[in-house]
Every structure is written in structure tokens, then in C-alpha cells.
């Protein structure tokens, strides 16, 4: 049996909370070169399914971390969501078919997700410290002093100083309160959720997802597998203020029979029964000095579309590479660290607004909405616009950071703009004559990636300009940036001396990036476009790298530890 590694004596980052968000943050900070310590007051990972939807973007993040295979093996990918309202079938939504190596959402229990993340973190040499609670925070100019209390050691207290603290301990976050960040919003009144993870015996085909809507209730059945194991979730008006315990299996069976119109339906083998009320709250900001918030510590909302865990993990993925770059001495703190709040706060605020609107429509659609659903629902659900909206909801790939201080755009293509997710595409590594995927070049190294597109009809003059830009960037930032030519012409590609050349003879990458003439793309370590421009914007690219705080090789320093 392998020995448990001791806690990091002088962590660069103290992470409070070891749910999926904290675990992801710890793993990514470690991968990017920061030393972490992660504590959690719980005795262990969750034992129930809880957050069960894994969106496409979360799968891409897990792929970047090198661990997605565990989720692909254990999860169930559903391709269809059948929608019925007021006894009438409105249509079928198709959440799959996303332009990604992972084309659709997965259903997998949070208990499995946490177990896989804990195992990954252990392989990186980091152990979660259980039954350890952060009970006090004091922030100084260059560190945060956190008092930890261990339940397993008779309440022993320990004072830890860390340059940075990440609070991921949920909606009642002591870290957020200590930082003095208001948590705006309120609890919903008059509505509740009841749910069960059960085996369903009924008259609908297993394996698909189903939604049933009437005037006062919405029922969702989300498949864990193709054999009839489902998450059965009902949003409805509150039945009694006195009811706080879980529903009975019989109660859930009655609801499901009524909503599906199947009087012989039977539920069996319950793994989890749960009743809960929810709230909508958003922290006023996600950073106060050296304390950051991520996940439920910063935003809580109705569980429509399984957004909470997915957005929280995107919070962690967005912050980790930035914070690690500062810790390593490769970047100045600003504007890199402030961009976390700028980018994620807007995204999470938009999510809060959309889930709030959706929840109110689910529980009490009103007479006009009910009539509209009956009359035009089938036509609306069949429209390309609605299908794309649902696909985007369950993919997360359309989330963008327009307006971020890290997004600078000079045009040059019809593809993704600065602040948008960089797409994947197959290309050929010319030196090895091997097919590779752009995602495998963008993510595993943890570095920035400069893609120098030659265009569909490349010219020598444009390629010389691109080569000059690439050489300048690598001279000043070679320890942080990888550069690749992406060329469609074999003869021109073969003439390139030195550097990485990716051949795109089928124009797939050029099409995905909307490139017709020579173009520069700089992609951040989290897979978002930081800079876009034409071949004459090399000077602006260098100025961008200086502006956002990356330090040139000659200026980089390793902070004392």
C-alpha cells in the first residue's frame, strides 16, 4: 500500500473544499506547476449521484487533464430528449452532434466523478485532507492566514499561511464571508424538487431522456444507462412547508405515473431519494485580494440542464493556469488574475438569469405560455434555432469571453474571434508524417499555442511575415509558447526550415478557423483564443503578450518558496 504524502508545508495555493470544483482546481494547479494543499470538512467524497450531467466542454477539460477515459467508460451518452406537454408529444431534442471529440453530454453520478478526480489527484502526489475545516481567514498584503481545525485530532487547530486561497466550499462559503463579498439573491418560495435514482419499469423505450410538462409540474427522466436506471426529477409547487425529508418511493411512483400517463409504471431499486428547495444567488465578485471563489461559493441556481458542476469546473479550469503562471514567476498578477472575475462572473451571471427564467416557466408556465406550448410547441421544437439552443445548453462550447482584457481581435478570418473557444481539427505533423489533433497540441503542454495559418493559397511573402512573427514570439516567450505553421501546400511546407509544421491538405483546420488568407491565432492554455490577426499584426501580438503581463524569458523570475 502506497504511503500517503504529507501535506504541502508551504503551499502556493490553499484550496478549501474538495468537491468536483476544488479537486479540479487542485489537479490543474499542480499540473501547471503550483504547490497546493486541499482540505475538506467532509469525511469523504459524496456517496450519491447528485450532479449527474457532464457536458461536452467538461469532457474537453477532462481530456485536457488526460483523464477523460474514466468518464467515457462509466458514463451514458444520451442522444435524444423527448418532450411532452399537456398530454401531447411536442418533439424530440437532439443534444448530440456537437463539433468536438466528445459529441454529446454524458450522465454519470457525482460520486463517480469525485472518485475519479481523487484518484487522479493522488497520482499527482496530492492527498485531500479530510475532516479539516477552515474556521478563520485573515488577509495580508502578501498572503492569507487561514486557521484549520481537524475533527479527527480532537479539534486541533493549525495556522496556515498561503499566498493565495481558493474557496470552493459551497454556497455557505466561510471564505466568501471572510472576504466580505456579498452573496446577492434569494431562496425560491412555494416550489420544491423531489427526485429519485431508481429503476423504471414503464412503456417508453429506455436509454433516452424524457420531459413531461403540465400546468404545475415538470418531470424529467435522465438515463444513467440503457437498461432503465434513471434520475427521476420533478419540479413542482411546494406541497407542504413542513415536509423536509426525502419523498417515499411510492410518492415518486405516483408522480411519475400521473405525469407519464402510464398507470402501470413501477419504480424499484432506489439508490437515492431526495427533496430540496433551491435558490438563486451570485457573489458580487469572484475575487477579493488574494481570495478567489469558484463553483457554488460564487454562484448557485436551479439545476436546469445540470449546469452547476459544469460551470464550477470551468471556473477552476479558467483560474488554474493563470494563478500558476503568477506563482511560477512567469507572469505579473495583473491583468491576468483580474481577468478571472471579468470572464467568469459575466458567464455565471448569464447562467443565473437563464435558469431563473426557465425554472419559473417550468413550475408555473401560465395560461398564455401553456396555450402557446400546445399550439406551436411541435413546430418550435423542430426548428433549427431551438435545437441549437438546447445543444448549446448541454455542450458549453459556445461560452465566450468577449470583452476580456485577455481578448484582442484584429480580424483576419471568419472563424472564432478572440475570447471564443478554439476548435479541434485533424492535421498532419509533417516531420513524423503522423496525424494529430489540434486539441492534443493545445492542451497537454499547459502552454500558449501560436498557430500560423498560411491560408488556402499561401504566398511566400505572407509566410515570411508569419515566420518573422513566430521567431520574435519564441525569442521573447519561448518558455511559455509553442508555435506551429499550419499549411495547405506540401511543397511550401517542405521548404520551411526549423519549427513545427502541420499540414492541412484537406483544409479542415483552415475551414474550422475560417481562414482563407494568412492569419495568426494565439490560443491560451485553457483553449480559448487570446489574439487573432493578419500577417501584418505581428507587432500587435508582441505588444499583447507584454500587455497581459507575460514576462519575457530574460525577465522571468522564480519567487522564493
pLDDT value at position 210? 96
- The three cell numbers of residue 145 are 492566514
For the segment 11-20, the average pLDDT, to the nearest whole number, is 98
Render pLDDT for 319-339 as a digit per residue (tens, 0 to 9): 999 999 999 999 999 999 999
DSSP string over 400-465: --TT-TT-EE---SSSPPTTSBPPP-EEEETTTTEEEEHHHHHSTT-SEEEEEEEESS--HHHHHH
**pLDDT, tens digit, for every residue of 131-149?**
999 999 999 999 999 999 9
- CA torsion sign, 301 to 302 to 303 to 305? negative
What per-residue confidence (pLDDT) applies to 1?
38
Q: What is the dihedral of CA 336, 341, 344, 349, to 10 degrees?
A: -160
Instruction: Quickly state the pLDDT bin for 386 (edges 50, 70, 90).
Output: confident
Tell me the average pLDDT across 391-403: 91
Residue 153 has a CB neighbour count (10 Å cut-off) of 11
More confident residue, 6 or 418: 418
Residue 366 has what pLDDT?
56
* 3-state SS class at 512: helix
Give the DSSP per-residue string, 70-113: HHHHH-EE---EEEEETTEEEEEE-----SSSS-S-EE--HHHH
Bridge partners for 88 per DSSP: 85
pLDDT confidence bin for 493, thresholds 50/70/90: confident
Give residue 206's pLDDT: 97
pLDDT at 289 over 80: yes
Which is more confident, 553 or 291?
Answer: 291
Give the confidence band of 489 by pLDDT, cuts at 50, 70, 90: very high
Domains of the chain: 13-52+109-184+280-360 (3.50.50.60), 191-277 (3.30.70.2450), 408-547 (3.40.30.20)
pLDDT band at 306 (very low <50, low <70, confident <90, very high): confident
Task: Report the pLDDT value the prediction gives residue 558, as an integer from 0 to 100.
Answer: 57
DSSP secondary structure letters along 450-463: EEEEEESS--HHHH
Q: How confident is the model at residue 2 (pLDDT cuts 50, 70, 90)?
A: very low
Mean pLDDT of 232-237: 90
Give the phi and the psi of residue 30 in degrees, each rounded to 5.
-65, -45
For the segment 412-425, the average pLDDT, to the nearest whole number, is 98
pLDDT at 495: 85
Model confidence over 362-378: pLDDT tens digits? 556 555 455 444 444 45
| Secondary structure element (H or E) that encloses residue 522, with its range | strand 517-523
**What is the residue whose three cell numbers read 403540465?**
214
- Displacement of CA 456 from its chain's centroid (Å): 34
CB atoms under 10 Å from CB of 141, counted, come to: 6
Give the three cell numbers for residue 438. Answer: 489540434
Model confidence pLDDT, tens digit, residues 450-486: 999 999 999 889 999 999 999 999 999 999 999 999 9
Q: Which residues pair with 476 in a beta bridge?
A: none
Q: State the pLDDT at residue 425.
A: 98
pLDDT digit string (tens) for 154-188?
889 999 999 999 999 999 999 999 999 999 998 88
Query: 3-class secondary structure for 251-310?
Result: HHHHHHHHHHCCCCCEEEEEEEEEEECCEEEEECCCEECCEEECHHHCEECCCCCCHHHH
The 10s digit of each residue's pLDDT in 276-285 is 888 899 999 9
CA–CA dist 193, 178 (Å, integer)? 31
Write down the mean pLDDT value for the chain.
Answer: 91
Which of 213-222, 449-458, 526-535 has the least mean pLDDT? Answer: 213-222
Q: What is the pLDDT of residues 41-82, one digit of tens each?
A: 999 999 999 999 999 999 999 999 999 999 999 999 988 999
Take residue 207 and report the three cell numbers written for it.
436509454
- Specify whether the CB–CB gap between 196 and 247 falls below 8 A: yes
Given a cut of 70, whether residue 192 has pLDDT beyond it is yes
How far apart CA 446 and CA 303 sit, in angstroms, is 32
Determine the pLDDT at residue 376.
Answer: 46
How far is 109 from 303, CA to CA, in rounded Å?
A: 14
At a CB cut-off of 8 Å and minimum separation 6, what does 477 contact?
Answer: 448, 545, 550, 552, 553
pLDDT tens readout for residues 81-112: 999 988 888 889 899 999 999 999 999 999 99
The stretch 557-561 carries a mean pLDDT of 57
Among the listed residues 21, 527, 66, 23, the one whose alpha carbon sits nearest the alpha carbon of residue 313:
21
The answer to whether 212 and 233 are in contact (CB under 8 A) is: no
Indicate the angle between helix axes 20-31 and 110-123, nearest 10 degrees. Answer: 20
Amino acid at each position: 500500500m502506497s504511503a500517503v504524502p504529507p501535506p504541502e508545508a508551504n503551499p502556493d495555493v490553499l484550496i478549501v473544499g474538495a468537491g468536483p470544483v476544488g479537486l479540479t482546481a487542485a489537479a490543474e494547479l499542480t499540473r501547471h506547476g503550483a504547490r497546493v494543499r486541499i482540505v475538506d470538512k467532509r469525511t469523504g467524497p459524496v456517496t450519491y449521484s447528485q450532479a449527474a450531467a457532464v457536458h461536452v466542454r467538461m469532457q474537453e477539460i477532462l481530456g485536457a487533464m488526460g483523464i477523460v477515459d474514466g468518464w467515457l467508460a462509466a458514463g451514458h451518452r444520451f442522444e435524444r430528449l423527448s418532450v411532452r406537454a399537456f398530454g401531447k408529444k411536442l418533439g424530440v431534442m437532439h443534444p448530440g452532434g456537437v463539433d468536438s471529440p466528445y459529441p454529446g453530454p454524458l450522465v454519470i453520478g457525482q460520486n463517480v466523478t469525485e472518485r475519479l478526480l481523487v484518484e487522479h489527484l493522488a497520482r499527482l502526489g496530492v492527498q485531500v485532507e479530510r475532516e479539516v475545516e477552515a474556521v478563520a481567514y485573515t488577509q495580508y498584503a502578501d498572503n492569507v492566514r487561514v486557521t484549520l481545525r481537524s475533527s479527527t485530532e480532537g479539534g486541533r487547530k493549525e495556522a496556515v499561511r498561503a499566498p493565495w486561497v481558493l474557496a470552493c466550499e459551497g454556497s455557505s462559503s466561510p471564505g466568501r464571508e471572510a472576504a466580505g463579498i456579498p452573496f446577492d439573491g434569494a431562496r425560491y418560495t412555494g416550489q420544491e424538487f423531489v427526485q429519485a435514482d431508481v429503476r423504471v419499469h414503464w412503456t417508453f423505450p429506455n436509454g433516452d431522456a424524457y420531459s413531461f410538462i403540465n400546468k404545475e409540474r415538470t418531470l424529467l427522466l435522465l438515463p444513467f444507462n440503457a437498461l432503465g436506471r434513471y434520475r427521476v426529477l420533478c419540479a413542482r409547487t411546494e406541497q407542504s412547508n413542513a415536509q423536509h425529508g426525502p419523498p417515499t418511493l411510492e410518492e415518486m411512483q405516483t408522480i411519475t405515473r400521473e405525469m407519464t400517463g402510464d398507470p402501470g409504471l413501477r419504480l424499484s431499486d432506489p439508490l437515492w431519494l431526495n427533496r430540496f428547495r433551491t435558490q438563486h444567488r451570485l457573489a458580487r465578485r469572484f475575487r477579493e485580494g488574494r481570495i478567489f471563489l469558484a463553483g457554488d461559493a460564487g454562484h448557485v441556481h436551479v439545476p436546469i440542464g445540470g449546469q452547476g458542476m459544469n460551470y464550477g469546473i470551468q471556473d477552476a479550469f479558467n483560474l488554474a493556469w493563470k494563478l500558476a503562471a503568477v506563482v511560477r514567476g512567469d507572469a505579473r498578477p495583473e491583468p491576468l488574475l483580474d481577468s478571472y472575475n471579468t470572464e467568469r462572473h459575466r458567464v455565471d451571471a448569464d447562467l443565473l438569469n437563464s435558469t431563473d427564467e426557465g425554472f419559473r416557466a417550468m413550475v408555473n408556465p401560465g395560461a398564455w405560455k401553456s396555450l402557446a406550448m400546445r399550439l406551436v410547441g411541435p413546430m418550435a421544437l423542430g426548428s433549427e434555432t431551438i435545437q441549437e439552443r438546447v445543444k448549446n445548453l448541454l455542450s458549453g462550447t459556445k461560452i465566450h469571453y468577449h470583452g476580456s482584457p485577455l481578448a484582442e481581435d484584429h480580424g483576419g478570418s471568419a472563424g472564432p474571434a478572440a475570447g471564443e473557444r478554439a476548435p479541434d481539427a485533424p492535421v498532419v505533423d509533417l516531420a513524423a508524417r503522423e496525424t494529430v489533433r489540434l486539441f492534443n497540441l493545445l492542451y497537454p503542454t499547459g502552454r500558449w499555442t501560436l498557430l500560423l495559418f498560411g491560408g488556402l493559397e499561401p504566398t511566400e511573402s505572407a509566410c515570411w511575415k508569419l515566420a518573422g512573427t513566430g521567431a520574435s514570439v519564441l525569442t521573447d516567450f519561448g518558455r511559455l509558447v509553442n508555435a506551429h505553421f499550419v499549411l495547405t501546400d506540401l511543397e511550401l511546407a517542405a521548404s520551411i526550415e526549423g519549427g513545427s509544421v502541420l499540414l492541412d491538405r484537406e483544409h479542415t483546420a483552415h475551414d474550422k478557423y475560417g481562414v482563407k488568407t494568412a492569419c495568426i491565432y494565439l490560443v491560451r492554455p485553457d483553449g480559448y483564443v487570446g489574439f487573432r490577426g493578419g500577417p501584418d499584426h505581428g507587432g500587435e501580438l508582441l505588444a499583447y503578450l507584454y500587455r497581459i503581463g507575460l514576462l519575457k524569458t530574460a525577465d522571468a523570475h522564480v519567487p522564493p518558496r
